[in-house]
Structure 1
């Protein structure tokens, strides 16, 4: 199931890494230690990404864990944030939570690596453990070290390499937040349900198909014609070419859906709303909330009100069955997915692998929007 189509060797000069410790301690000198991180100092295109030497984060809270990153993935949220998407909300969140400046900003949401140091309240992982997880609403994972909290991290599946493991946490947290937290359902509730997953060949879709099949759901997905075999191999029961002349009619012929997971929005949402069953427990789960765009455009208050009114209109139209999804960390989800991965019910789907030194090229590859599965950055030398 793994798709390792492209590997680029790490070619960052070794002299740059000379002063970077392989093991970080909480001793008096830890604040002087440095690492490399891909950062931006202004919003814009890939030319703003710079490889910078910066301080390794220092644990300041008892629930924090410092992780040496071995691999990280690129998600669409990364290049959108590079462009300034969500800057208003992220800026306020970082200021309120950690009181840190907006720039320099390190992007990247998920990772696989090794625990370098753990706070006193951390009990489920320890120094030296192989771990995976997600950095949420703060400095990201496109760096040699990342600081995360208790609920953002778990034990890496034993049967995966760091590259394979890094492809999963962010999409796993997004899909879990949609299917469980937002929909209010448990994994056992999905047995026998008919679920539509839009864009099944992408990172979110390829994971969602496998997770739902592991839970016993019947899964229909949309994809391009050249991705049909991939999504069927992942477990989809039906695959519809989204470029067909009447995709709504083809989907309706398959039957209406108990749950729809929509990571596309726009015209896809317009024709999909009518495909949801009329039952009160049917759920339309949209990953395309306008709140970031609205607050960026109108400010925190006016943008929040505007997005809220849109939510009310959709919710009334679908009788409270329409929901926007916002990814959030969840320790139980990581543990559950770890179990399914180790049982080989979920496998990583990787499109291309780039070296740490080639991270801007990896970002550009994802931005093209043609990836089958995930793009991973390896060898954080």
Structure 2
């Protein structure tokens, strides 16, 4: 699926492009599944044009899973036939994973976790590295700390809960009333219905001194005004940069004066390969299990974008790029 111009979901149409060839350090992946992320629709409408060198026709898609088809010269870490998941080079202006074949850097691919399907693994790369990097790297998560995941039922939130739980933290998560048992199933010690009342008050009831870490997987400044009310002095509030709103300079300075750090997950973007490796290790050890997924055919990519843009998807939407029952 390609876009030939910026615009709405209707811009996603079928297209034929030449077979890409991997260069040094690159891998050609035969794509089984592609995960759909908020960053995909933002790429489609041109919101990320400050970061991506677009060309048209352009193939969207960061997340992928599939089989290594070919490797670039001098690369021996992966071989044709390997089952992998990871990220495309869409962020560097290369065509993404909504296609039969996709180029990826070898550093951004890792073996499929044992027992995971291609569809389940395609839910991991962006959401998983965002959760892991926000928690472990930027958030400096420590054993025994208390954590709040804002938006626990989404793709990032459901993985963040598991990462925090697996690494020995106490975890609370916000969600809608229909997802209370869902987030508890991922290891949340406490579920907070954000529609039922004052979230900050509910957090303080659970952690009277404030939590050590907040990972805000909702954005829109939904909890930012309450940061000083819910984060303990010396704690951290981590925002996800691809969400709509970000803390102002005044917000950051005011929080810092009160001993609270407001940070972006992008502070650790150069360490994404390490985040992917750490996440894969947790998956292999059974500390992270797949979030809820809904599989849609690649032809329905436009509808998938409409739903992701509405922001109320439980888990992840996965596009099935190719039939892979016999892979």
Length-normalised TM-score, structure 2: 0.89
**Is 1:144 aligned with 2:100?**
yes
Cα offset, 1:314, TM superposition: 2.8
Q: After superposition, what is the alpha-carbon deviation per residue over 1:159-207, rounded to whole angstroms, capped at 9, x for unaligned?
A: 1111111111111111222223333x3xxx5211101100000000001
**Is 1:47 aligned with 2:10?**
yes
Cα offset, 1:378, TM superposition: 1.5
Greater relative contact order, per chain length (Cα 8 Å cut-off, separation 6+):
1
Q: Displaced runs of 4+ in structure 1, greater than 4 A?
A: none
**Is 1:212 aligned with 2:164?**
yes
* Alpha-carbon separation, structure 2, partners of 1:127 and 1:149: 15
* Alpha-carbon separation, structure 2, partners of 1:68 and 1:250: 47
Q: 2:182 aligns with which of 226, 230, 236?
A: 230
Q: After superposition, what is the alpha-carbon deviation per residue over 1:62-97, rounded to whole angstroms, capped at 9, x for unaligned?
A: 111111101111111111221221212223xxxxxx
* Alpha-carbon separation, structure 1, partners of 2:316 and 2:74: 33
Which structure 2 residues correspond to residues 1-381 of structure 1 after superposition, within 5 A? 38-60=1-23, 62-91=24-53, 101-136=54-89, 137=91, 138=93, 139-183=95-139, 185=140, 189-255=141-207, 256-265=210-219, 266-279=221-234, 282-288=235-241, 311-319=248-256, 321-326=261-266, 330-381=272-323
* Alpha-carbon separation, structure 2, partners of 1:168 and 1:289: 17
Moved more, 208-217 or 240-249: 240-249
Confirm or deny: 8 A CA contact 1:69 1:141 kept in the other structure.
Answer: yes
Confirm or deny: 8 A CA contact 1:197 1:209 kept in the other structure.
Answer: yes
Length-normalised TM-score, structure 1: 0.77
* Alpha-carbon separation, structure 2, partners of 1:289 and 1:202: 14
* Alpha-carbon separation, structure 2, partners of 1:273 and 1:55: 53
Cα offset, 1:277, TM superposition: 0.8
Cα offset, 1:41, TM superposition: 1.4
Q: After superposition, what is the alpha-carbon deviation per residue over 1:4-30, rounded to whole angstroms, capped at 9, x for unaligned?
A: xxxxxxxxxxxxxxxxxxxxxxxxxxx
| Unpaired runs of at least 5, structure 1 | 1-37, 92-100, 294-306
SS in 2 for 1:192: coil
Confirm or deny: 8 A CA contact 2:132 2:279 kept in the other structure.
Answer: no
Q: After superposition, what is the alpha-carbon deviation per residue over 1:226-277, rounded to whole angstroms, capped at 9, x for unaligned?
A: 1000000110011111112222211111111111101223232112342111
Q: After superposition, what is the alpha-carbon deviation per residue over 1:300-357, rounded to whole angstroms, capped at 9, x for unaligned?
A: xxxxxxx8xx653333212271112225663333333223223322111123111122
- Count matched residues: 312
Moved more, 142-151 or 318-327: 318-327
* Alpha-carbon separation, structure 2, partners of 1:57 and 1:379: 17
CA distance 1:197–1:78, change in 2 (3 Å)? same
CA distance 1:316–1:124, change in 2 (3 Å)? same
CA distance 1:341–1:215, change in 2 (3 Å)? same
* Alpha-carbon separation, structure 1, partners of 2:64 and 2:25: 18
RMSD: 2.1
Cα offset, 1:289, TM superposition: 6.1
Structure label with greater radius of gyration: 1
SS in 2 for 1:330: helix
CA distance 1:273–1:262, change in 2 (3 Å)? farther
Confirm or deny: 8 A CA contact 1:110 1:166 kept in the other structure.
Answer: yes
